[in-house]
Amino acid sequence: GNGGPGRIALPVLMCEGAVASNVVPTCNGPWCTEYLEEAPRSPPHARVTKRVLVDFPGVWTENEGGFQTWGGSPSKPANYFWGRSADEAARASLQWFARGGSHMNYYMFFGGNNFGVWGGDAITTAYATDVNVCPDGLPNEPKFSHLGNMHAALAAAAAVMLGAPPQVNASVPLPYRVTSTMETPTGAPPSPPPVVAYVYKS
């Protein structure tokens, strides 16, 4: 609605938006297709029923590229993963949109430096140096070009994808498995979801 006479209702987005009653439910993490696969969903901790892809669009607030904590190591992170390959980031993004997701933010798209009160708790000041754009402003290749080509392909297919219903439980499994390049706090790579396809007809 419009919030009443003379008022405009604006949607409020936040990561993990299912916990508040007046915000759009969202997903945050390196893989969010499973979040859509659970639709319609209403998490146990939600104050109101929020059915993704039914009452709300699929929104991915943090497609995480990784960051490093103080004392951590890029090869063996102590508290969080560090970096993702271009292929893995593209695969997760394409599955999200193919499944019915309508919005995705990179976290982060542009690496940078955070000093003083701008720094996160226990996060190094050189922040997200392995994402699409390096802290010095130069493109991080091949990730920058690879994900740029992915977005061009999505734009070319947008009319067909947006004109079709969400692919609820309509994935077609493919006989492939991929190995994740990310690391968990234990040092072991997580198991990425199976490789699947979604069929859209124009």
Cα-based torsion angle of the residue sequence 95, 129, 179, 106 in order, rounded to the nearest 10 degrees: -10
How far is the C-alpha of 16 from the C-alpha of 70, rounded, in Å?
Answer: 25
The 3-state DSSP class for residue 59 equals strand
pLDDT the model gives residue 153: 94
The Cβ of residue 31 has, within 10 Å, a number of other Cβ atoms equal to: 20
How far is the C-alpha of 69 from the C-alpha of 166, rounded, in Å?
Answer: 38
Taking Cα atoms as reference points, which of 180, 184, 178 lies closest to residue 196?
Answer: 178
pLDDT the model gives residue 104: 93
How far is the C-alpha of 6 from the C-alpha of 138, rounded, in Å?
Answer: 45
pLDDT the model gives residue 147: 96
Q: Are 178 and 191 in contact (CB under 8 A)?
A: no
User: pTM of the entire structure?
Assistant: 0.74
The 3-state DSSP class for residue 56 equals strand
- The pair of three-digit structure tokens given for residue 81, joined into one six-digit string: 């993963």
pLDDT over 70 (residue 150): yes
pLDDT the model gives residue 80: 54
First vs last C-alpha separation in the chain: 32
Q: Which residues contact 29 (CB under 8 A, 6 or more apart)?
A: 62, 64
What DSSP designation does 126 have? Answer: E
pLDDT over 60 (residue 20): yes
- Report which secondary-structure segment, H or E, holds 127: strand 126-127
The string of pLDDT tens digits covering residues 45-101 is: 555 667 788 888 889 998 988 776 677 666 665 555 566 889 989 999 998 998 888
37 or 42, greater pLDDT: 37
pLDDT band at residue 139 under the 50/70/90 scheme = very high
Q: Any idea which of 35-39, 50-54, 127-131, 136-140 has the lowest mean pLDDT?
A: 35-39
Q: Which residues contact 163 (CB under 8 A, 6 or more apart)?
A: 202
pLDDT over 60 (residue 3): no
pLDDT the model gives residue 177: 66
pLDDT band at residue 201 under the 50/70/90 scheme = confident
pLDDT over 60 (residue 116): yes
How far is the C-alpha of 39 from the C-alpha of 193, rounded, in Å?
Answer: 17
